[in-house]
């Protein structure tokens, strides 16, 4: 889901959660990035439902950014699948590295808990060079 009006319709239909996703850009490479879609969707649904996100998340700072922009949880696709090719040790390493990255990003942002991150990023900070 990428549109706030669709999210509102889901809430009105009784949904308990909204999943913000652009299918990783595989289906339509010009789709709105989930990081851009997330804040208006969160604003449209408020705290009425859980909001989850996936798409392009590959690091701890990506996870922190997703939570800061309004997601309750962030889901990874490519990163754990690549780690699986290295067996259990690679999956454990991926998890440990992701956790360390998230902790470092939160410390640098002055946050002790993921719940402290909403509002630390301005939407204008999402655009690259």
pLDDT in tens, 69-81: 999 999 998 899 9
Gap between the Cα atoms of 46 and 19, Å rounded: 14
Most confident of 58-67, 92-101, 118-127: 92-101
Active site residues: 23
* Number of residues in the chain: 129
CB 49 within 8 A of CB 15: yes
Gap between the Cα atoms of 101 and 61, Å rounded: 6
How would you label 43-53 residue by residue, b for 16+ Cβ within 10 Å and e otherwise?
A: ebbeeebebbb
CB 20 within 8 A of CB 56: no
Q: Hey, where are the domains in the chain?
A: 4-117
Three-state DSSP state, 13: coil
CB 120 within 8 A of CB 111: yes
Please give the CATH superfamily to which domain 4-117 belongs: Aldolase class I (3.20.20.70)
97 has pLDDT over 80: yes
What confidence tens digit (pLDDT) does each residue in 28-86 have? 777 888 988 999 999 999 999 999 999 889 999 999 999 999 999 999 988 999 999 99
**How distant, in Å, are the alpha carbons of 22, 55, 94, 124 from that of 102?**
23, 17, 12, 21
Q: Is the dihedral of CA 102, 107, 112, 116 positive or negative?
A: negative
Gap between the Cα atoms of 110 and 49, Å rounded: 27
């Amino acid at each position: 889901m990428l549109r706030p009006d669709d999210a509102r319709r889901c809430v009105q239909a009784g949904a308990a959660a909204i999943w913000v996703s652009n299918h990783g850009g595989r289906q339509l490479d010009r789709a709105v990035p989930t990081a851009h879609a997330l804040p208006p969707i969160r604003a449209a649904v408020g705290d009425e439902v859980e909001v989850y996100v996936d798409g392009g998340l590959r690091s701890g700072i990506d996870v922190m950014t997703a939570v800061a922009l309004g997601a309750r949880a962030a889901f990874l696709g490519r990163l754990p699948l690549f780690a699986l090719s290295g067996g259990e040790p690679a999956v454990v390493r991926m998890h440990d590295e992701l956790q360390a990255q998230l902790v470092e990003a939160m410390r640098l942002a002055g946050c002790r808990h993921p719940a402290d991150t909403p509002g630390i990023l301005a939407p204008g900070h999402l655009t690259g060079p």
